[in-house]
Amino acid sequence: MSKNILVVDDSASMRGMVTFTLKGAGFAVKEADDGMAGLEAARGERYDLVLADVNMPRMDGISMVREIRTLPAYAGVPILILTTESNPEKKQEGKAAGATGWLVKPFDPEQLLATVNRVIG
Amino acid sequence: MSRVDLSQFHQTFFDESVEGLDAMEAALLKLDTGDADPELVNTIFRSAHSIKGGSATFGFPEIAAFTHVAEELLDNLRSGKRQVSVEIVELLLRCVDGMRGMLDRAQRAEAAANAATNALLDELRAALGTAPTPRVVAAPDAGTNASASEAGAEGDWAIAFQPKAQLLRSGNDPLRMFRELAELGELQVSAALNAVPSFDQMDPEVCYVAWDLRLPGTTRRERIERCSTGRCSMATPACCSTIPAAARATGASPKARSAAGATKCWHWSRRIAPRARGSRWSSSARRWAGG
């Protein structure tokens, strides 16, 4: 059975690239276009991996990660932050919220797949 | 899995970027001087941030570089380090116009940056209190290598150094060249680590790293070109190749990069110790941290 990944990013082009790449590698993918939609999706189903942008409207990625971590089903689920922000403070903030990894844009599809496969492949 | 063709996402990127610029403009026009309205500034920042990320991901490095500097100014407003002023708003509105033009040219497969956007970058940097954009013109010979781009009458030498994969196998050491360059003047180096694979996939004899180097414009070009990696000099085509800025931004593997003149320089100015360390680009190759 294929692994299920939740992709949360307010950029349609980024979601498109990530989803296309992951589906091409055999993963099942659910998209959400902001933090609030991502949280709702996580509440509805347990995903094997969450990929989350940081700067999003309605609810930013860090806040979404913090909320997802309160859900019992997500106690051990890896959550990767995808963002252009690479400063140490943001990373610490992400880690404190419960993120387990960080992939900084720009990344190419091969880098994305290599990281996802290492996490849940 | 065959290589993903990112061009299939370009139109979506262009469409959402135009929407983002519309949102930026509308929010800028609502900004009052003084303390920035957090919600308005966040809207503006998010739009710029998305355009930056998308343009870097999909192969439009000039747009990414421009937006990055604009984003720095917006971040200063967002954090309260700067207050909103008529001049700042006016500059940012002109930047929105500048980015519209860049997107338009990129859609037509033309060079996104031009003299006007370079001038805007200078204004942004002045507003941030940082150095102006070094002026770079096309590298002289696409058949040679990454050697220094012409700096013109003013501005630093911007050197895009993209060794071929077999550089290390032939007994060359890039750091030797950096040490020789550092003797010529204040050397600034940024490393692009996008093509570095995971450890288990890495061939220790392959050079995966590219560098951007900067030397003061007063340095004589012929002295730069004599600097050597050991068995090759910067002007030796066997060891090095030029890379178009777009290839670097997409993180294409060294073998995928074509030999063409480097026409633009990156604006990183981070200084390093004699041993080349990764710049902020090292973050783009960050792997699963395991918590």
Partners of A77 on chain B (C-beta within 8 Å) are none
For A17, the closest of B9, B251, B287 (CB atoms) is: B9
Q: Tell me what percent of chain B is helix, strand and coil, each rounded to the nearest 5.
A: 45, 10, 45
B chain contacts of residue A84, beta-carbon cutoff 8 Å: 49, 52-53, 56
Check: CB of residue B175 under 8 Å from CB of residue B274. yes
Task: For residue A109, give the nearest of B4, B194, B198 by CB distance.
Answer: B4
Alpha-carbon span B105 to B120, nearest angstrom: 16
First to last CA, chain B: 28
> Which pLDDT band holds residue A14 (cuts at 50, 70, 90)?
very high
Intra-chain end-to-end CA distance of chain A, in Å: 12
- B219 closest CA partner among B144, B275, B273, B159: B159
- Taking CA–CA distances from A119, the nearest residue in chain B reads B288
What local confidence, expressed as pLDDT, does residue B58 receive? Answer: 94
A108·B250 Cβ contact <8 A: yes
| CA-CA-CA-CA dihedral for A84, A89, A93, A99, to nearest 10 | 50
Q: Per DSSP, what are the bridge partners of residue A55?
A: none
The predicted structure's pLDDT at residue B235: 54
B250 contacts A21? CB cut-off 8 A: no
CA B43 and chain centroid, separation: 25
Residue A75 phi/psi, 5° resolution?
Answer: -55, -45
Mutate to test the interface with B, among A7, A11, A90 (most CBs of B within 10 A): A11
Token reading at B273: 């110790």
What is the rounded distance in angstroms from the CA atom of residue A105 to the CA atom of residue A97?
A: 20
Enter the ipTM: 0.92
The pLDDT value given to residue B7: 95
Please name which of B237, B165, B158 lies closest in space to residue B205, comparing C-alpha atoms: B165
Q: What residue type is B63 in one-letter code?
A: I
Instruction: Quote the Cα angle for A29-A30-A34, to 5°.
Output: 135
Size of interface A-B (CB pairs under 8 A): 112
Chain B residue with Cα closest to A16: B9
> A58-92 burial, b for 16+ CB within 10 Å, e for fewer?
ebbbbbbbbbbeeeeebeebbbbbbbbbbeeeebe
Nearest-CA residue of chain A relative to B8?
Answer: A17
Q: Residue A56 and residue B286: Cβ atoms within 8 Å?
A: no
Rounded Cα–Cα distance for residues A66 and B142 (Å): 51
Q: At what angle do helices B38-58 and B61-79 cross, to 10 degrees?
A: 160
Token pair in block for residue B185: 């003047």
Written as one string, the DSSP assignment of B97-132 is HHHHHHHHHHHTTS-S--HHHHHHHHHHHHHHT-PP
Whether residues B54 and A13 touch (CB distance < 8 A) is answered with: yes
Which positions in chain A touch B78 (Cβ < 8 Å)? none
Pick from B3, B13, B194: CB nearest A13:
B13
Who wins on pLDDT, B163 or A82?
Answer: A82
Report the SS3 class of residue B187.
coil
State the best of A50, A63, A90, A111 to mutate against chain B, taking most chain B CBs within 10 Å: A111
Nearest CB among A13, A24, A86 relative to B12 is that of A13
- Could you report the average pLDDT of every consecutive run of 10 residues in chain B (291 residues)? 85 97 95 84 93 94 95 91 92 97 96 94 89 48 40 61 74 73 76 76 80 77 69 53 37 37 36 36 33 33
Task: Give B251's contacts (C-beta < 8 A, 6+ positions apart).
Answer: A106, A107, A108, A111, B192, B194, B195, B284
Spatial CA neighbour of B184 closest among B161, B210, B211, B213: B213
Which residue on chain B is closest to A20 by alpha carbon? B4
Q: What is the pLDDT of residue B228?
A: 66
Q: Does A47 score more than 90 pLDDT?
A: yes
A84 to chain B: nearest residue by CA? Answer: B53
Distance CA A88, CA A97 (A): 14
Selection from B111, B155, B20, B119 nearest residue B74 by Cα: B20
- A16 with B9: Cβ contact below 8 A: yes
Which residues of B are less than 8 Å from A115 in CB distance?
A: 287-288
pLDDT at B229: 65
Minimum Cα–Cα distance from A86: chain B residue? B283
